[in-house]
Amino acid sequence: MKGIKVVLLAVFVACAAVFPLGAQEAPRALPVPETVSPELAHLIAAGPFAQWNTHPTTAAEWKAWAASLAEAASRELPALRERLGVDMEQGDIGGVPVFIFPPKDLPEANRDRILLNLHGGGYVLGQGESGTAEAIMMAGIGKFRVVYADYRLAPDFPYPAAIDDAVSVYRGLLETTPAERIGVFGTSTGGAMTLILTLRARAEGLPLPAAIAPGTPWTDLTKTGDSYFVNEGVDNVLISYDGWLSEAARVYAGGHDLKDPMLSPVYGDVSNFPPTLLTSGTRDLFLSNTVRMHLKLRQAGVPADLIVFEGLSHAQYHMALMPEATFHFTELGRFFGRNLR
């Protein structure tokens, strides 16, 4: 198997893109760049995901939609683990179900280090094992033991259930591992939760993780930021804020102010945050979410770096085993390796 199907990985990001291809509305016609890998060029040329404009109206419709995507994604995960040499264990930390992914060739330097992964999916998608592809790729390529938090999802569990669960897992990890040996990462919703967890840890007097890596984080749940408009119809994963994404924001927020920093961390106080590595792409609908967060961190004096991939739509860096994916997870491995004791 030369690569991992798009149907596998896209469910784990805020787009939940195990959707069948074939657009409801075509994106703006742009040429496929010649400056990306052939694998990424294939994803760019494939066109938009058809169900981006889905609008569930009841809890039952949200859950049925999420379950159908989860089932399709889960079928592909054993092959991904096998190819990357990653084992899987199940457990419970802090009362929250977790999946643990140790690489078969875990380096000695990382034996006492651990990474907490918070998955994407707009707070409504990625249930159970179905959201674990990013954790598997980080374990297999980045060579760290990864704990994946299977946090509760809306609509049954709106704000603050997801972040409460993430904090519970983090507290549980602190019982056995010093904070200076813990890193936190995630993509899209998981990227935002990585930042929010750090805000919550500080507010609750917990030691902060040694380093964090929010990938294309959903740092603003409102339609604020240049790329929500400039990259609308250019990003062939999310397509537009006005599809299912905006509905998911409201379902999870449950009437709370969408600009509350515990929902939109770009409005939070990030002073004294740990070293941070952010990732986005030039076609990413969340490019502004990412660069605004990067600038805010830098203005606060936080050592923060930013990777922007050429031609990449939202979170496509982990939609296939391609050079961009290898680079991303290798860079994360180096970053955590430098910053964790």
Q: Is the pLDDT of residue 19 over 90?
A: no
φ/ψ region of 16 (left if φ > 0, alpha if ψ in -120 to 50, else beta) reads left
Q: What is the pLDDT of residue 29?
A: 77
Do 76 and 136 contact (CB within 8 A), yes or no? no
User: What tokens were used for 310?
Assistant: 């050429």
For the segment 184-192, the average pLDDT, to the nearest whole number, is 98
More confident residue, 53 or 285: 285
Kindly report which listed range (51-60, 97-106, 128-137) carries the lowest average pLDDT score.
51-60
For the segment 87-102, the average pLDDT, to the nearest whole number, is 98
For the segment 178-195, the average pLDDT, to the nearest whole number, is 98
Confidence band, pLDDT 50/70/90 cuts, at residue 23: very low
Q: What is the pLDDT of residue 27?
A: 57
For the segment 239-264, the average pLDDT, to the nearest whole number, is 97
For the segment 158-163, the average pLDDT, to the nearest whole number, is 98
Q: Among candidates 328, 221, 233, which has minimal Cα distance to 285? A: 233
Domain ranges of the chain: 6-339
Q: What percent of the chain is predicted at pLDDT more than 90? A: 87
Confidence band, pLDDT 50/70/90 cuts, at residue 50: confident
Q: Is the pLDDT of residue 17 over 60?
A: no
Pick among 3.10.20.600, 3.10.180.10, 3.40.50.1820, 1.10.287.980: CATH of 6-339: 3.40.50.1820
* Whole-structure pTM value: 0.93
Confidence band, pLDDT 50/70/90 cuts, at residue 16: very low
Burial environment of residue 149 by CB neighbours within 10 A (0 to 12, 13 to 18, 19 or more): buried
For the segment 195-223, the average pLDDT, to the nearest whole number, is 98
Q: Is the pLDDT of residue 59 over 90?
A: yes
Q: What is the pLDDT of residue 28?
A: 72
Q: Among candidates 63, 64, 74, 73, which has minimal Cα distance to 19? A: 73
Quote the mean pLDDT of the chain: 92
Q: Is the pLDDT of residue 10 over 80?
A: no
Q: Is the pLDDT of residue 259 over 70?
A: yes
Q: What is the pLDDT of residue 207?
A: 98
Q: What is the 3-state secondary structure (H, E, C) of the chain?
A: CCCCCHHHHHHHCCCCCCCCECCCCCCCCCCCCCCCCHHHHHHHHCCCEHHHHCCCCCHHHHHHHHHHHHHHHHCCHHHHHHHHCECCEEEEECCEEEEEECECCCCHHHCCCEEEEECCCCCCCCCHHHHCHHHHHHHHHHCCCEEEECCCCCCCCCCCHHHHHHHHHHHHHHCCCCHHHEEEEEECHHHHHHHHHHHHHHHCCCCCCCEEEEECCCCCCCCCCCHHHHCCCCCCCCCCCCCHHHHHHHHHHCCCCCCCCCCCHHHCCCCCCCCEEEEEECCCCCHHHHHHHHHHHHHCCCCEEEEEECCCCCCHHHCCCCHHHHHHHHHHHHHHHHHCC
Confidence band, pLDDT 50/70/90 cuts, at residue 26: very low
